[in-house]
A and B are shown apart, each in its own frame.
Chain A
Amino acid sequence: MAHPARHLLRAKDLIDARYAEDLTVADLAAVAGLSPAHFSREFRRTFGESPHRYLLTRRLERAAALLRNTDGSVTDICFAVGHTSLGSFTTTFTRVYGMSPTAYRASFPPARRLIRVPDCVARVYGRPQNRTFREAAVG
């Protein structure tokens, strides 16, 4: 009999793996084996934030990584990480990182790409934790 949190971890792992897809609360609740309403409450209790917020901050973290480390356009990156609206992506990114995606990219020198940081470390430590993050405003 697995620990209850172990089932919720499956949902968190699913977000980390498939953040670019149109994941619904129902999808996440299903892998955790819980009803959607129960799932969101338990996820928040276990990990300290809602599954929705975890998904959106994962997308922002991945978008920031792509801005730092690729030459892809802001539009391409926006859609690549699962956002459906360039406008809301830019607004949210700017609020969380304190500058526009373009300015964020320009603030990192190309040599930054040569730093040898494992992908798993970047994902865990790079996820934004901005207090002013307002998830409801994101499309």
Chain B
Amino acid sequence: MKQATQKKVAQFLAFLLLRVCLYLVLAVLLLFLFDIGKKGGGAISWEFLSQAPRKGMTAGGIFPAIFGTFLVTLITALLAVPLGMCAAIYLNEYARQDRLTRLIRLAIRNLSGVPSIVYGLFGVILFVNIMRFGTSVLSAGLTLGLMTLPWTITASEEALKTVPNSYREGALALGATKWQSIRTNVLPYAVPGMLTGTVLGLARAAGETAPILFTGAAFFLPYLPKSLGDQFMALPYHLYILATQHHQIEQVRPLAYGTALVLIALVLGLNMTAVVIRYRLRRKRR
């Protein structure tokens, strides 16, 4: 009898401890969001969102940084989304279980673990120097695109996996070629899922700083980039500068909070849209 109570008490305490772990994680997240929401909210105004920084970045807004992040993410998407989808189509539809396939999968998994600053170094050599794009929004976007590629491949493959095999077999049985069956019976069902998955990757890319540090992000620019060969301002880099590199750090703290809020709203907004859509898609399938 006594042993049984002891067992119960032990279980109660252990589960309590596990629960505390969970609450701790949730508390950290809430603390983050609360702090940035509260202190950043005060800085947000129409002027802040629509104007360029003024007076050595101690006043004015962050519009060039918002615009730059939008532009660079667009380039990232143009590179990473189609390539990611095509690679996923190969892996899920065409690939046999052979050595080449295993090699490709291994490469993808390892690419997603390569540090972002290493992608930055790669971008400096490949895009800035060898391809002579210079430090520009194009170089930065392509660098981020390569970094995003493993994520978009994985996400697209997950979406392809959810299409039942019978769809493919039905088309093939009617005499369709492999590509016809993919085009008519697989892709229409997989593309929405592929897109939501890739949005998650793009959101992550939009918030990255290290890969764009040396490939095109600028400290301050009085004008917006006019071509793909121009440098650009980006939200994450702007936050880094306001938080650590500015000569009047205390004075610009509210602006830094405001920038952080805009960045986090952008990234989490994209994230949540994707998560909600994916959740709905999954439910529909059940």
Same complex for A and B? Answer no
